[in-house]
């Protein structure tokens, strides 16, 4: 997705540890126009299939997820990282290890919001090692819900996550694919290095 790549090039900061900081439009301040364009792109890629729910994980997945849900007129469900005190017992949960933060989170979804009849499109902002998406896939398994596919805004293709998802036969679409951060520059998959 050209405009997303341009924004990453213009406003992204490459940090040590292969981390891309995009706080200008995605992870802190959010550009709603760009998020809407991201939603439109996901609708182009997945909209032909039956989708009854968007599933993401808080917090940064919510912005692209909600735009996709808005365009498809389906609810957007986000897994929580902290147990809410107002949440009853009927939960689906999965452990998610964060390599960037070196902590394990348990993500949870109230079972009543994910019936077995759901056709789920999983959306997230970043795909690195695939821990978050894997946790969401486990939750869908527990619910016996059907996974239509996984839509990612920014994939770090040099990390393990993409292969981990496609190896399970799941339809993955990433709008910007980063091949490397060589010389502290963002290099996208398919572009010429020079
Ligand atoms: P994984 O889910 O693909 O395995 O990712 P990993 O554990 O490596 O990353 C943990 C968190 O960091 C996730 O957000 C993930 O989206 C984010 N992340 C991974 N790589 C990058 C990167 O290069 N740049 C940025 N900006 N984020 C990255 P999270 O902990 O769930 O946080 P949030 O959604 O509340 O922001
Ligand atoms: Na994040
Ligand atoms: Na995220």
ipTM: 0.91
Question: Residue 74 Cα, ligand 3 centroid: separation in angstroms?
Answer: 20
Q: Is 142 in the pocket of ligand 1 (CB under 6 A)?
A: no
Q: Is 127 in the pocket of ligand 1 (CB under 6 A)?
A: yes
Q: What residue ranges define each of the domains in the chain, with the CATH number in brackets?
A: 2-188 (3.40.50.2020)
pLDDT single digits (tens) 91-137 = 999 999 988 889 999 999 999 999 999 999 999 999 999 999 999 99
**Residue-averaged pLDDT of the chain:** 95
**Burial (CB count within 10 angstroms: exposed 0-12, middle 13-18, buried 19+), residue 89:** exposed
Task: Please state the φ and ψ torsions of residue 122, each to the nearest 5 degrees.
Answer: -90, 130
Per-residue model confidence (pLDDT) at position 127? 98
- Tell me the mean pLDDT in the region 65-85: 93
Return the SS3 of 33.
helix
Q: Ligand 1 pocket: which of 100, 104, 139, 181 to mutate (most atoms <8 Å of CB)?
A: 100
Q: What is the pTM of this model?
A: 0.95
Q: Is 84 in the pocket of ligand 1 (CB under 6 A)?
A: no
């Amino acid at each position: 997705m050209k405009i997303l790549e341009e924004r990453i090039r213009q406003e992204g900061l490459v940090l040590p540890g292969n981390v891309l900081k995009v706080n200008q439009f995605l992870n802190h301040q959010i550009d709603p126009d760009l998020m809407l364009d991201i939603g439109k792109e996901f609708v182009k890629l997945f909209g032909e299939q039956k989708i009854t729910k968007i599933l993401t994980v808080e917090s940064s997945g919510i912005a692209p997820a909600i735009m996709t849900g808005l365009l498809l007129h389906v609810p957007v469900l986000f897994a929580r990282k902290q147990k809410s005190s107002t949440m009853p017992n009927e939960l689906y949960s999965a452990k998610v290890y964060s390599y960037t933060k070196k902590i394990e989170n348990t993500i949870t979804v109230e079972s009543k919001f994910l019936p077995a009849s759901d056709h789920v499109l999983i959306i997230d902002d970043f795909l690195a090692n695939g821990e978050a998406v894997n946790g969401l896939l486990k939750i869908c398994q527990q619910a016996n819900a059907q996974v239509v596919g996984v839509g990612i805004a920014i994939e770090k293709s040099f990390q393990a996550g993409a292969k981990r998802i496609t190896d399970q036969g799941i339809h993955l679409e990433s709008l910007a694919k980063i091949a490397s951060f060589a010389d502290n520059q963002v290099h996208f998959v398919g572009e010429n290095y020079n």
